[in-house]
Each structure stands twice: as structure tokens, then as C-alpha cells.
Amino acid sequence: MWEKDESGGSKGHRAMGPPQPNGGADGPSPTGPVPGPSTDQSPLAAAAATGGTTVPPSRYESQKRRDWNTFLQYLRNHKPPLTLARCSGAHVIEFLKYLDQFGKTKVHVIGCPYFGHPNPPAPCACPLKQAWGSLDALIGRLRAAYEENGGRPESNPFGARAVRIYLREVREGQAKARGIPYEKKKRKRPTAALPPPGNVSADLAGAPSTTTTV
């Protein structure tokens, strides 16, 4: 249903798509139909399958589309009914809290003996929530999707100050509860992967996105 990366949390749950039968040791049989690029496929898929130069939609783009559809569905099911035009930062925060029930990140409550333990020696009854990193990246994607779907930057609820403050509170709360100082981790990380333009980093900095509609 709602699958996202857990920043620093679980590992090995990243499904990279079904394994492709690439004609390995067996090789294609000379008679039967060979699985592979066919004219039925979309040009993009065919090009990708044949190893062409056309780049398929990135992981980021497809994730963004999925997130956007999930949010629209959330609005449709909202009680009382809520339209995108009337959506505020408070509604976005409500959405993020709603997503916590699908989270996989253990966030210890203050009374828990493992509060502040990065690696607790035993299970506890504390709730699972969405990791801050997941929420932060999600807001970055939804913020971009909102404007790509015709929303004006100045009315973008995902860029609302309240949302930024909420995310900061989640980050600080989870850092304490899980004993993970996010800032430190960030500094240690080498400059490996840069996020795509108009992504999370721009959101964090509060900078305007590349589409400057006045």
C-alpha cells in the first residue's frame, strides 16, 4: 500500500522490480515465443528493454506520481469533504499524522526504557511511525507535484510554514527518541548522491522552486 524508504531504518525492503528473464544459462528456445521486447510494449518500455538510450521515468518521478494520487485519494475520503483548493498546511499535517499508522519506524515514548536507544536489546510496545526522512522527502515530492499540476507556488500547502515547523519537530523528537542525531549523520555522509533539482533540499532551504510563476 504505502511503501516508502525508511531513512536509516529498515533495510533490504527495497523491491527493485521483478527479475527479468534475460535468457541466462538456458538461453531462448529456438521455437517457442521468447520473452523480451515486443511491438506491444510502449516505445519507452521497448527502448529500455533493448538497452536503448531512452531513460524510463525515474524512481523519483514515479514515486511522486504515486504520492500525489495517494494525497488526492485522501482528500476524496476526507470528512468533511475537502478540495485541493481549500487545502491548508494544517490539512497537510493532518495527512502526515494519518500516514503514521503505516509507518515502520519505532519511536519510543518518554516512559520507555529504550528511549534514546539506537539499538534496543528487546522489543517494546512503543508505536511505529513514519520516519522523519520519509515524511520530509514525501513533502518535497508533493510540493513539486502540486505546482506541476497547476497549483500556484504562493498557495502551495506543502510549502506552508506550519508544515516546515511540524517536520522540524518530528525530526527533533525522533532524534531524541531513537538516539539518532540526524544532523551529525548528515555531516558524516560523503557527497555521494545529489537529489534531483527542485527536490527536498530546496524545500528545506525554503527556496523557491525552479518554476517561478509570478
Binding site for Zn ion (CB under 5 A): 108, 112, 114, 124, 126
Least distance (Å) from Zn ion to the CB of residue 157?
33
Least distance (Å) from Zn ion to the CB of residue 175?
15
Distance CA 176, CA 183 (A): 12
Question: Given the complex with Zn ion, which of 82 and 126 has the nearer CB atom?
Answer: 126
Q: Please provide residue 176's backbone torsions phi and psi, each rounded to the nearest 5 degrees.
A: -70, -45
Least distance (Å) from Zn ion to the CB of residue 180?
14
Question: Given the complex with Zn ion, which of 49 and 126 has the nearer CB atom?
Answer: 126
Distance CA 115, CA 173 (A): 11
Least distance (Å) from Zn ion to the CB of residue 106?
6
Least distance (Å) from Zn ion to the CB of residue 113?
7
Question: Given the complex with Zn ion, which of 112 and 175 has the nearer CB atom?
Answer: 112
Q: Using CA atoms in the order 143, 149, 155, 158, what is the torsion angle rounded to 10 degrees?
A: -20
How many beta carbons lie within 10 A of that of residue 122, not counting itself? 6
Distance CA 105, CA 126 (A): 10
- Per-residue cell: 141: 515530492
Question: Given the complex with Zn ion, which of 124 and 165 has the nearer CB atom?
Answer: 124
Cis peptide bond upstream of 80, omega within 30: yes
Question: Given the complex with Zn ion, which of 123 and 190 has the nearer CB atom?
Answer: 123
